[in-house]
Amino acid sequence: MAVSWLQDREVADLCIGKPPTRPIPLSATVGDALLALRNAGADDRLAVWAADRAAPERRACVGKVCMVDVICYLCAEENLEAPCAALGAPVSAFLFPKAAAPLVRRVEPSSSILEALDAIFDGVQSLVVPIRAAASRRKLAGGGGSAEFCWLTQEDFLRFFLNSIFLFSPVPALSVSDLGLVRPAALTVRHQDPALCALPLIRAALTEQTSVAVISNNGHLVGEISPSTLAHLDERVAAALAALSAGELTAYIDCSGTLPESATRSIKARLREKGLLGMLELLEADFSPPFSPTTSCSSSSSSDDESSPSAAPSNCRRPRRLRSVGSYSARMGRQSEEAIVCHPWSSLVAVMIQASTHRVGYVWVVDDDYFLVGMVTLSDMLKVFREQLA
């Protein structure tokens, strides 16, 4: 029954009500992308468009950019001492990582749900789907008509299957452990480690649409560094990432990047101690339009009081709380300080609801003592339904 029902469903069914992508040309700089992201509102990613070499009059989506891309680029070893200068580099500098499969693929509205789902399993992060007829196309400046397209992600497929969960009974009632969905949490960092040590892990988590677990010395989950949360902050996170420990960075993220003045002074003091004066410039930069990498970054020679580094963002909220799948409040909406968790015996449908409610691509798996067991990802959940449809 489920197979015959899905055979009649098209990708267009998942695109109803989706907003158009926000465009940026491939010729844009990192600074251009930063400004666009700061003004993007609720949309946390940009569609990067380039001319089709075979047909120059046409445009094609060649990738996407979010604030996490910018943050990781500014914190790269070669840019750490002069991040403001790095803002003048082309956006392609981090758009095409070596030996990586394309993360964006175009899919036609008439394609079947299964065809689109298989593209996700090929390693594609997002599908870009035309949402306007050719006759109504209008070109945006530098965007090549990108307003005609919308994003389609794993999250959309998850909601699609949740709306039809009854067709797959009794599988959704099985535990994530019985279904073999609990995978090891490979991306972990100790809470006392420098946050910069987590930089390659953050890049990997962004690609895999997961997160970096911050654990105690005895393996308990104490927080996370989530790309989905970082994507809604701004470039000042790069300075915090360069100055703080992993545990302190989670406290910074909990504050949504807004710290007490004493904690901000502490970050500046640490940056001075490390000789990262360029990061000080980034922290104090004014990115109001018009933007120029050479003029927007102010001098870091301010006369701020240099408080002791030990005063780091501990003045902010307490370390993240962990919400389990059985908690009523966990289903009421995610806040930045919460790491979303379930247990090995949690049912698939319960974990799906949790991931959908909190808009995350993963759920951490812990035991009764909150020892980190592993994680369940959206991709693995979706594979269960794909197998049922085979």
Tens digit of each residue's pLDDT (9 = 90 or more) over 67-116: 999 999 999 999 999 998 999 999 887 766 554 557 888 999 999 888 89
Which pLDDT score, from 0 to 100, does residue 144 have?
42
Which pLDDT score, from 0 to 100, does residue 72 have?
93
Which pLDDT score, from 0 to 100, does residue 316 have?
44
Least confident piece of the model among 49-58, 62-71, 162-171, 360-369: 49-58
165 pLDDT more than 80: yes
Which pLDDT score, from 0 to 100, does residue 39 have?
81
25 pLDDT more than 50: yes
Which pLDDT score, from 0 to 100, does residue 367 have?
92
Q: Whole-number mean pLDDT of the chain?
A: 80
Which pLDDT score, from 0 to 100, does residue 136 have?
41
Please tell me whether the overall predicted TM-score, pTM, comes out greater than 0.85 for this model.
no
309 pLDDT more than 60: no
pLDDT band at 376 (very low <50, low <70, confident <90, very high): very high
pLDDT digits (tens, 9 = 90+) for 40-59: 766 688 989 887 666 555 67
Which pLDDT score, from 0 to 100, does residue 93 have?
77
Highest mean pLDDT among 54-68, 303-317, 347-361: 347-361
Higher-confidence residue of 250 and 139: namely 250
- Secondary structure in 3-state letters for the chain: CHHHHHHCCEHHHHCCCCCCCCEEECCCEHHHHHHHHHCCCCCCEEEEEEECCCCCCCEEEEEEEEHHHHHHHHCCCCCCCCHHHHCCCECHHHHCCCCCCCCEEECCCCCEHHHHHHHHHCCCCEEEEECCCHHHCCCCCCCCCHHHEEEECHHHHHHHHHCCHHHHCCHHHCECCCCCCCECCCCEEECCCEHHHHHHHHHHHHHHCCCEEEECCCCEEEEEECHHHHCCCCCHHHHHHHHCEHHHHHHHHHCCCCCCHHHHHHHHHHHHHCCCHHHHHHHCCCCCCCCCHHHHCCCCCCCCCCCCHHHCHHHCCCCCEEECCCCCHHHHCCCCCEEEEECCCCEHHHHHHHHHHHCCCEEEEECCCCEEEEEEEHHHHHHHHHHHHC
